[in-house]
Amino acid sequence: MGTISTEDMSISSNSNSNTTQTSGLTAPQKTLIKAWWKKVIATVKVDNKLSLSADKTVFGLPLLHSIQYAHTTISYRDEITNTPCMAVIPTIIAKCGSYLKEKGLQIEGIFRLSGNSKRIGHLQSLFDTSDTQYGVYLNWDNYNIHDVANVMRRFLNYLPEPVIPLNYYQLFKATMETEFVSADVKTQAFQSLIDKMPLAHQFLLLYLLDLLSIFTLTSHLTRMDISCLASVFAPGILSHPDDALNPSSYKQSQPVLEFLIKHQHKFRMPSSGIPFVKSECMLRPPLQVHTIQHPLSTLTPSSLPYTGNDTFNNSIHPLCSNTAAPSPPSLFATKSTPVLSSPSAPPYPFQDTMFPTTTLSSTAPSPSSSSSTDIRRKKTLTGKTSASMSTSTSTSTSTSMSTPSFYLPNTNSDPRVAWLERSTRTSILRRERQQPNQKSSVPRWKSIRTVSTMERDGLNTPIFTQ
């Protein structure tokens, strides 16, 4: 995993938010956005019908439950196919994560020091309710960085099932203790475990590992080295209620997490977004929450409100017509690596929220090697354009756009190739600034920028032009 990120805030559950602010847009553009938003709402209605009747809070509920209504889409880039893909993580994580990456990298004792308990409690209540759209437009003005770090960790600590689900707890620890010929082989072993986790847990884990690995780069400033970060996050990521009162169990979890952070660039996100299509993967082995049905899991692909242009989609991805893809290496062969049955099958509804007129250049930027990942990340640190600025200042409903992930599962035979890329708005903007000469990539980046980003940047140029 190279780098993730982005904070394209899209709220699927809140139909009040359909007042997309489209100032600066032409009438046809407004129409297009409205049409597109209707599709989002259509998805939402299905969501609401099928979701549980329980209180829609976030704290203390299973991730697979709360992710249904309090999520944010993030985008990442498949480095093999070089196609943007989408993932969902809890809104609170996206919101806090982006702010922390922006403001927290130089703060001594970040994640360790406590904020103000009253303010943390207040933040918790804001993130815990649909009234605020789960805090997506929260303004950080009255909070300090430690409040933010605390509320994010509290969310993780309150998860009934940690980020690494309980039935993987022993497997992760055993994998850590097992001797492998090299760290790379060990990484593969961990990857094969991660691949089997429920999709929402995979996304969250990989997002957090990415976040933490960024923080390891400034540990000389924060005085939070990798082992400190690992021990702070161990209770929320890798813990078990059976061991909850046993300090030594946390000390065993710490090196596991440390390893995962250290090698996070080698881990990959779920294969090319394909699991989105086979949505039962979203609910793969949930231990305690197996009774909870993801609303989308009951949908057949044909029942999804998909109206996308297949021909158009096919034309985007050179690989999408390649039905005879090689099998993944055995280590990665999870029990049900989904293969898209038909190239025209609809994508996950969130991807269905693609801008109708978004046109992508099919020329892909040159593939990145894993070594360039670090360089990119360093760039991130210097890049001051921040996604979180958008999340705190944006007042419009920002919605993510992405190309549907319409190709076969990742057939990466070399797991060391970091195949994710920081394709956030942050990095998108950064790339445009730093590499203005890479003309081939510019239309691509532009195409996945969001409405609100455009507005915020004061760009009056029509969104849909190339």
Partner 1 sequence: MSSYNYIIKYIIVGDSGVGKSCLLIQFTDKRFNAGRELTIGVEFGTRFISVDDKQIKLQIWDTAGQESFRSITQSYYRGAAGALLVYDISRRESFEHISTWLADVRRHANPHTTIVLVGNKSDLDESKRQVTSEEAERFAKENGIALFLETSAKSASNVEEVFVKTAENVYEKIKSGEFTSNETSGIRLGPVQKSSLSEETQGGACC
Looking at 15, 114, 303, 322, which residue binds partner 1 (CB under 8 A)?
114
8 A C-beta contact, residue 343 and residue 406: yes
Does the footprint of partner 1 cover residue 464 (CB under 8 A)? Answer: no
Angle (CA) 111 114 116, round 5°:
135
Q: Does 115 bind partner 1 (CB under 8 A)?
A: yes
Q: Does 123 interact with partner 1 (rule: CB under 8 A)?
A: no
Q: CA 101, 107, 108 angle in degrees (round to 5)? A: 140
Which one of residues 113, 331, 339, 364 is an interface residue with partner 1 (CB under 8 A)? 113
Q: Which member of 41, 42, 109, 365 binds partner 1 (CB under 8 A)?
A: 109
Cβ at position 231, least distance to partner 1 in Å: 5
Contact (CB, 8 A) for 455 and 396: yes
Residues 139-198 that bind partner 1 (CB under 8 A): 146, 150, 153-154, 157
- The minimum distance between CB 252 and partner 1, in angstroms, equals 10
Q: Which of 18, 24, 41, 112 binds partner 1 (CB under 8 A)?
A: 112
The secondary structure of residue 276, as a DSSP letter, is G
Q: Is residue 117 within the footprint of partner 1 (CB under 8 A)?
A: yes
- Contacting range for partner 1; rule: CB under 8 A; set: 70-78, 97-105, 233-241, 391-399: 233-241
Q: Which contacts qualify for 307-316: CB closer than 8 Å, 24 or more apart?
A: 307/39, 307/352, 308/346, 308/347, 308/352, 308/354, 308/404, 310/343, 310/344, 313/344, 313/403, 313/404, 313/406, 314/343, 314/344, 314/406, 315/362, 316/83, 316/360, 316/362, 316/403, 316/404, 316/406
Tokens coding 329: 């290496």
Query: How many CB atoms are closer than 10 A to CB 288?
Result: 13
Residue 162: CB minimum distance to partner 1, A = 11
- 228 scored as a contact of partner 1 (CB under 8 A): yes
* Residue 368 CA, distance from chain mean position: 20
Give the count of residues interacting with partner 1 (CB under 8 A): 28
DSSP state, 449?
-
In sequence order, the β-bridge partners of residue 345 are none
Nearer to partner 1, 121 or 365 (CB): 121
Q: What interhelical angle do 199-216 and 370-382 show, nearest 10?
A: 70
Q: Which of residues 109 and 329 has its CB atom nearest to partner 1 in the complex? A: 109
What token pair was written down for 392? 């705190």
Return the range that interacts with partner 1 (CB under 8 A); candidates 248-256, 389-397, 401-409, 414-422. Answer: 248-256
Q: Tell me whether residue 231 or residue 272 sits nearer to partner 1 (CB atom).
A: 231
Closest approach of partner 1 to the CB of residue 152, in Å: 12
| 247 scored as a contact of partner 1 (CB under 8 A) | yes
Determine the interface stretch with partner 1 among 26-34, 114-122, 187-195, 299-307 (rule: CB under 8 A). 114-122
Closer to partner 1 by Cβ: residue 16 or 246 = 246
Positions touching partner 1 (CB under 8 A) are: 109, 112-117, 146, 150, 153-154, 157, 223, 227-228, 231-232, 234-236, 244-248, 250-251, 254
